[in-house]
Amino acid sequence: MTDHDSQLPALSYRRDDEIDLRDIALMLLDGWKWILGSVATAVVLALVFVTIAPQSYRASTSYTPSSEGLRLLNEMPDIDYSAASTQTELELKLGSFGNLRDFIDDHPEWQSIAQSEADEQDVTLDEHLRLHYFDKLTITRPGKDGTGPHQLSLVYPESLQGAALLNDYLAWTERQYAQVLAQRAEHSLETALARNSEEMQAHLEAYRDSVNVEITRLQEQHDVQLAELDDQLQAEKNAERKSRQERIRTLTQAEAIAQRLGITQPTSPPAFGENGQTQVSRGDSGNATNLPLYFMGTQALAAEKEVVEQSLEQEASTPAIREIEKELAQLRHQRQIEALQQRSDDSSFVDAYNQLSQENTLLRANRVTADDIDVVEVVNLAYRPNRSEGPGKALVLALAVILGGMLGVMLVMCVSFGRSLKHYRAQRA
Per DSSP, the residues of 239-308 read HHHHHHHHHHHHHHHHHHHHHHHT--S---HHHHT--S-----GGGB-STT--BGGGGHHHHHHHHHHHH
**Which pLDDT score is estimated for 1?**
44
Say if residue 387's pLDDT is above 60. Answer: yes
Q: Please measure the distance between the N-terminal and C-terminal CA atoms of the chain and give it in whole angstroms.
A: 28
**Which pLDDT score is estimated for 281?**
37
* CA 416 to chain CA centroid, nearest Å: 83
Say if residue 108's pLDDT is above 90. Answer: yes
- At 389 the three-state DSSP class reads coil
Q: What is the per-residue pLDDT across 217-250, written as a single tens digit (0 to 9) for each?
A: 888 888 888 888 888 888 888 888 888 888 889 8
How is the chain split into domains, by residue range?
1-53+403-429, 203-363
Task: Report the alpha-carbon distance of residue 208 to residue 277 in Å, rounded.
Answer: 77
Q: What is the per-residue pLDDT across 4-49, written as a single tens digit (0 to 9) for each?
A: 444 444 444 444 445 566 666 776 677 777 778 888 888 777 777 6
Query: Can you give the pTM of this predicted structure?
Result: 0.61
Residues 409-427: what's their mean pLDDT? 75
**Which pLDDT score is estimated for 23?**
65
Residues 178-192: what's their mean pLDDT? 92
**Which pLDDT score is estimated for 3?**
46
Runs of H (alpha helix) within 57-107 = 71-74, 83-94, 97-106
* CA 44 to chain CA centroid, nearest Å: 67
Task: Report the alpha-carbon distance of residue 34 to residue 404 in Å, rounded.
Answer: 10
Residues 103-119: what's their mean pLDDT? 94
